[in-house]
Structure formats: structure tokens, C-alpha cells
Amino acid sequence: MQQTPQPTALSNQIPREPFRWLFTAEFKDGTIIEQTQEDKCLTRTDGTGSAFTDVLAREDELVAFHLYSVDGKEAASVDLITGAFIINNTPFHAHDQYFEPTQHKLRLIYHRETRIDSDIKSTVENDGTINQEDVGQRHYVNRYFIGWQTTTKTNKNVQATIAVG
């Protein structure tokens, strides 16, 4: 008797376009974690996670987070010690003038804004019903966001982010 293979989590994933931006994360001890197009997690052996999972595992030691376009023409960074952003070698600050980021423990903000496009084949039957068939999906990353956040002694959440890509 032939068994039908069961779908796995990986076989159900929507095909994604290659990343247009990759990251490197820099830690207090000089360790650097670099994301690749494969986006493999190095700290898990079960095939789950991503390079960002590895970053989160050491989040308390993170000092800088860098994004760079895969063509090497653009770069954006956030310094989690000073709160400075650096875009194509130009530093700037994006916080309120009365807030001093160096007086607080800054935590990383990083996420991707994504989009999924679906191709649907529709057929109108003779009885007026419509049959639809999903013939393909593509996953895109529109923009990348990096920044920092902190909680003050008065429990106020302060954050600054920028979008790239």
C-alpha cells in the first residue's frame, strides 16, 4: 500500500522573493551575526527559526544593527548605545530634543513589511457558479524598519524608527 506523503511546514510555505536587504548584528563581545539569503538559524537544530532568532537569543548584548542592500549601494544602521541612526555613512538622531537615549537601555526594533500576491484562476460555470483556483502566490518584502525603544523610569515607552527599502 502506497502512503501519501504528509505536507510539512516547509512544503506549505509561500515562495518568497530573495531579500533585497540583509542584516548584520553586532554584539558587545565583538561577535557578529550575518543574515544570508537562506536566513538559517544557527542556534536551533530542528530547522525552525531564522538568523533573527539568533539575534534575539542575545538581545541584551546587542550594540548595533545594520541593514545593507544586497547590491551594496545603500546601508542603514542603528546604534543601540547612542540611539544614532546612520544612513549611507551619514549619522542622525530621530528622538525628541528633551530625551537623551544614552541614559537608557535601548532595545532593537526590527521588522519587515510584507505583501503576498495571489494569482487566482476564475471560471464561470453554465449554472452561474464561479469556481476559483489559486494558481500561485508570491511573497514580497516592501520595506524594512529598524530603530530602538526603551521604557523610562516613569514607565513611558519611547521609540524611534526609520523605514528603508
Is 107 inside a domain boundary? yes
Q: Is 11 inside a domain boundary?
A: no
Domain count along the chain: 1
Q: Specify if 136 maps to a domain.
A: yes
Tell me, yes or no, whether 16 lies in a domain: no
In a domain, 52, yes or no: yes
Q: Per the domain annotation, does 33 fall within a domain?
A: yes
Full domain range(s) for residue 65 = 21-164
| The model's pTM | 0.76
Mind listing the pLDDT tens digit of every residue in the chain (165 residues)? 444 344 444 444 666 678 889 999 999 999 999 999 999 998 888 888 999 999 999 999 999 999 999 999 999 999 999 999 999 999 999 988 889 999 999 999 999 887 777 777 888 888 888 888 877 777 666 789 999 999 999 999 999 999 998
Degrees, nearest 5: CA angle 141-147-150? 140
